[in-house]
Amino acid sequence: MKECKEYTLRIGKHTPKYPIVQGGMGVMVSGPNLAGAVASAGGVGTIASVGLAVTSPDFTGTNVAKENIVMIKKAIEKARQIASDGVLAMNCMCALSDYDDMVHTSCDSGIDIIISGAGLPLKLPELTKDYPGTALVPIVSSVKAADLIMRKWEKSYGRLPDAFVVETPNTAGGHLGARNESQAMDKALSLKAVVPALVDFLKNLGVNIPIISAGGIWDSKDIKEAFDMGASGVQMGTRFVATEEADASDRFKQAYLDAKEDDVVLIKSPAGLPGRAILSPLVKRYFDDMLEKTACKAACLTHCICRAKHETFCIADALMSAYKGDWENGLFFCGTNVTKLKKIVKVRELMEELVTGLGCVYSPL
């Protein structure tokens, strides 16, 4: 067994002990407990900023934006208490109405890294210009998206991303970087296609930006494969949901353990993007066109087909219901790996399995 030197991930000035990023998962699936546990286990722990308001005692159901800001600060403080020397990231989704405030508050509260997707984070350097130490990591699903971001950032702000997360819609959980459900399954957007192509693209430009592979990463074999393709790290979501420390309810975790292959479906989210989720009663009602129309309470998305056209369902309600463990009304995002999960483990057990599988010594912080 050796140190994990050949598996080093550097993101700006931050070098986690192990090249494993726990992906941001809203609403309150990756809150401060999970992110803190992962950071203290040697990975990058990511808090999802979306919907943190649900944990506020002052949350009324409609004051989402205001309470999100209060709870972002508190979540970072709590995660830092768990992992004082760990690397912590905040996941901020471009599609959210309070994106700018979420980014500002996270930086102001001392977050190490902002990881940003669900749209192209074209103005992220502008929003973070007063925090030069905060590393910036866009999530992309294609070389084209990475190229667009790099051109815009270089031209307007004279800087480049500190890393890219390449997330394949073929297997990942949550909102997916594809136009629609059929493009989400297009092999042209697989990790095997996009990661080596982005590695070549960056090499030809003569820039050194680490790539983090995401979507369907299950074990150390998958991590090695990602490195063989030229990635410098992996981001994993679904496996971290099935941990004791994940902030989701026990019912959420049980839904993961129960899920079979036919239960994993693609939906069109109110954000207009495809998403991968468990076939819960809410999703069945959505497929059967049996959903009741609901009025918008929080205007959480900049573009929402539920608000604008009364299509689909209220995503804030659906994700908050999932957080509360309401199986009937919840939207339970998941990656295709969900069907492989057999039990709930501790974050340290999972990290140890992954790290020792790489042939490295495991020692948490």
Ligand X SMILES: Cc1cc2nc3c(=O)[nH]c(=O)nc-3n(C[C@H](O)[C@H](O)[C@H](O)COP(=O)(O)O)c2cc1C
- Binding stretches for ligand X (CB under 6 A): 23-26, 29, 48, 50, 91, 93, 117-118, 139, 167, 171-174, 214-217, 235-238, 241, 333-335, 337
Cβ closest to ligand X, residue 150 vs residue 300: 300
Cβ closest to ligand X, residue 75 vs residue 217: 217
Cβ atoms within 10 Å, residue 185: 15
Cβ closest to ligand X, residue 1 vs residue 257: 257
Nearest to 75 by CA among 41, 47, 44, 107: 47
CB of 265 to ligand X, least distance (A): 13
**Contact call for residues 283 and 259 (beta carbons, < 8 A):** no
CB of 49 to ligand X, least distance (A): 8
- Chain length of the chain: 365
Nearest to 241 by CA among 14, 33, 3, 4: 33
Return the C-alpha torsion angle 347, 349, 351, 353, nearest 10: -150
Cβ closest to ligand X, residue 26 vs residue 364: 26
CB of 334 to ligand X, least distance (A): 5
CB of 155 to ligand X, least distance (A): 25
Cβ closest to ligand X, residue 150 vs residue 191: 191
**Contact call for residues 90 and 46 (beta carbons, < 8 A):** yes
CB of 223 to ligand X, least distance (A): 11
Token output for 189: 């957007």
Cβ closest to ligand X, residue 313 vs residue 333: 333
Nearest to 247 by CA among 63, 102, 79, 67: 79
What phi, psi does 139 have (nearest 5°)? Answer: -100, 130
Cβ closest to ligand X, residue 1 vs residue 253: 253
Q: With left for phi above 0 and alpha for psi between -120 and 50, is residue 118 left, alpha or beta?
A: left
CB of 84 to ligand X, least distance (A): 24
- Strands 274-278, 174-175: parallel, antiparallel or unpaired by DSSP? antiparallel
List of residues 6+ apart from 205 with CB closer than 8 A? 150
CB of 243 to ligand X, least distance (A): 12
**Contact call for residues 312 and 306 (beta carbons, < 8 A):** yes
Cβ closest to ligand X, residue 16 vs residue 237: 237
**Contact call for residues 302 and 95 (beta carbons, < 8 A):** yes
Nearest to 147 by CA among 109, 197, 111: 197
CB of 323 to ligand X, least distance (A): 10
